[in-house]
Chains A and B, each alone.
Chain A
């Protein structure tokens, strides 16, 4: 049973470009969470999604950031017009409907903005 998958693992963008981060939850999991981790800091919640629905986006910056979890395919975290301050590790986690509290994390995408 494959774990949570994320790609790419590393992403380099220049200021002003767009970054797209993908997350495939564990098989059978319908809840996806995105977290951001700045260097030597803890993980900060960004957004919680279920299939085709955003449940809680209270941690998402109001501008440039968006997330989706379509009926088919992976969850996408999209950052438009990236700035240097967006450089971080972005982790997604998934949980199942029957054990919603237990979140399993993916390997993360390390975004570097030049």
Chain B
């Protein structure tokens, strides 16, 4: 089955700096890669996603890149703000079949004011 690895497990950045979180996956059939943000005690919230026919997607300060050949994808947050502090999870799945998400183990991001 699919195996998703996520690095780093913790990340601290100064406010205004950029943060990058990286994930790798093992199953070449995976074609949908969402990113979720989870604040302490809250539900995971979808912040951005990318499909395998796209190499990059951007939404304001958040961007995601995908390298299908290398089977890795990354989340980039620019101009970080204290409210970006949370745990971020990447996931992989096979779209269109409603298959399960395979989640990474999470990155705890702390933005230092």
Q: List chain A positions with a Cβ less than 8 A from chain B.
A: 4, 31, 33, 35, 41-45, 48, 50, 55-56, 58-59, 91, 95, 100-108
Contacts and interface: CB of A to CB of B under 8 A. Distances in A.
B95 interface: yes
A43 B89 contact: yes
9 contacts: A42-B104, A56-B100, A58-B100, A91-B43, A100-B95, A101-B96, A107-B42, A107-B43, A108-B43
Nearest to B2: A45
Interface of B: 6, 32, 34, 36, 42-46, 49, 89, 93, 95-106
Given A104-B46, A107-B42, A95 B103 contact: no
B103 A43 contact: yes
| Most B Cβ at <10 Å: residue of A43, A50, A56, A91 | A43
Given A100-B96, A106-B43, A44 B32 contact: no
Nearest to A31: B98
A107 B99 CA distance: 21
Contacts of B104: 42
A105 B98 contact: no
A95 B98 contact: yes
B69 to A, nearest CB: 22
B44 A59 contact: no
A45 B46 contact: no
